Structures are given as C-alpha cells and as structure tokens.
A and B are shown apart, each in its own frame.
Chain A
Amino acid sequence: LAKTTQPISMDSYEGQEVNITCSHNNIATNDYITWYQQFPSQGPRFIIQGYKTKVTNEVASLFIPADRKSSTLSLPRVSLSDTAVYYCLVVASGSARQLTFGSGTQLTVLP
C-alpha cells in the first residue's frame, strides 16, 4: 500500500477556501485516492474519492495531477463546523477493501 504524507495541522478562518495536499509517491496503477473526515468522538466519514484529474461533490473537490503522486482536497468557504481531522488514504481497487489511515491533518477553523 502506498504511504501518504500530509501536514499535521492547518489553521484557517471562516469563509476561506482550504486546500490540504497529500503526497503518495508510490501510488499503484489500480489505487484510488480517498479522503475521510473525523470529528471528535465520532467515527470517520467518507468525503470524496478520485482516480485522476478533478472530482467534485457537494462537500469538496479533489484535484489529482497527471502523475497521481499527490492530491489536494479543497474545501470551499469553510465554517467553524469544518474543524476536524482529515485523512488522505490510498485504497486499492478490488476485493481487499482494507483502509490504512495515516496521521491525518487537524484543520482548525477560526472565527
């Protein structure tokens, strides 16, 4: 499984766009990039997944360059409730389905 590297923490202010970058230099051809969000005292929650280029849903956008060695999670106009830990995961397609969580990024949104 490809190892991921992301910043330990980030601060932002309400209303700003937040970009969290993740490095995954050893990503394999059949791997997907997946992001989870975890609030205190809750289990992680799936945010978004992509393979290449750009994916957007109602919560976030995910940008993946052509070499797929990194990815950027973009959260538009964050609010205080977006304060959470964000995990970048590289997940192999197919039947294995296990998730390997890295250290995550603690995002703190300030008023």
Chain B
Amino acid sequence: SAVISQKPSRDICQRGTSLTIQCQVDSQVTMMFWYRQQPGQSLTLIATANQGSEATYESGFVIDKFPISRPNLTFSTLTVSNMSPEDSSIYLCSVDTGSVSYNEQFFGPGTRLTVL
C-alpha cells in the first residue's frame, strides 16, 4: 500500500493567478497520476507524471495550463496556471505501486480549489 498526502487541502484563489499542489508519497513508486474531479462529477485523468522526463498529458489538457514536476520517486507537483472559475475542482494525485497482478492505485485526499 501507499500513504499519500497533498498540500494544500483546499484553497481559494483569484482569477488569473496560479496554484501549485504538492503530492508526497511515503514510499518510492513508479507511476504517479493527476486527476481532476469537478463538482458532482467523476474523475478525469489530467496526466501521468514521469520521473525524470516530461509528463504525459491526456486529451484536453496541456502543459502550459497544468505544468507538472516529478523530481523523484516520492514527490510530484501540479500547477494550475492562469486560473479561471472553470478550474474550480478537486485535484487528486494517485500512485500505482506496480503490482504485477493488480492495477490498484492509491489516491491522495485531494485539493479542493475554488477560483473566484
């Protein structure tokens, strides 16, 4: 298993500003992911955070808007840039511990972002 913490747990930001969300894991993991969950909706994968290389973004998400860092095997950051009210969501990071037989991911508690 893996224990994941995220900072901040919530924030209220002004339009046009940027926020960086941190994700810390208690063990080294191969794969880390960032998801967005808009109010009352399901989760949408933003990108896979690759250690030592650029993140791999899903359709509809771009690096300029959501830059991601992954400096080591236990830490990643997601920045939400030039925010607008439409970016108000919960942002979650998850990790895959790489078990051969299970595609089990462990999720952080999420960061609740409100953009005014």
Residue of B35, B44, B103, B110 touching A97 (CB-CB under 8 A): B103
18 pairs across A/B with beta carbons < 8 Å? A41-B109, A41-B112, A43-B92, A43-B94, A43-B107, A44-B105, A44-B107, A45-B107, A49-B102, A97-B96, A98-B48, A99-B33, A99-B43, A99-B103, A99-B105, A102-B42, A103-B42, A104-B42
Residues on B with C-beta less than 8 A from A98 are 33, 45, 48, 58
Show the binding face of A for B, using Cβ within 8 Å.
32, 34, 41-46, 49, 87, 91, 93, 97-104
Selected from A34, A41, A101, the residue in CB contact (under 8 A) with B103 is: A34
Query: Which of B43, B44, B45, B58 contacts A44 (CB under 8 A)?
Result: B43
For A102, give the chain B residue with the smallest CB separation: B42
For A32, A43, A93, which residue has the most chain B Cβ atoms within 10 angstroms?
Answer: A43
Q: Could you tell me if A91 and B103 are in contact, using CB atoms closer than 8 angstroms?
A: yes
Overall SS of chain B's interface: strand
Near A by CB (< 8 A), chain B positions 35-57 give 35, 42-45, 48
B contact set with A: CB distance below 8 Å: 4, 31, 33, 35, 42-45, 48, 58, 92, 94, 96, 102-110, 112
Residues of B within 8 A of A100 (CB): 45
Contact residues of A: prevailing secondary structure: loop
CA distance A42 to B6 in the complex (A): 12
A103 closest partner in B (C-beta): B42
Given A97-B96, A100-B45, A103-B42, are A41 and B110 also a contact pair (CB < 8 Å)? yes
- Ordered nearest first, which 4 A-B pairs have the shortest CB separation? A43-B107, A101-B43, A91-B103, A46-B104
A49-B45 contact in complex given A41-B110, A43-B92, A43-B94, C-beta closer than 8 Å: no
* A45 CB contacts on chain B under 8 angstroms: 107
**Across the interface, which residues of B come within 8 angstroms of A87, CB to CB?**
42
* Chain A residues closer than 8 Å to B112, beta-carbon distance: 41
Measured CB to CB, the nearest residue on chain B to A93 is B103
A34 partner residues in chain B, CB cutoff 8 A:
103-104
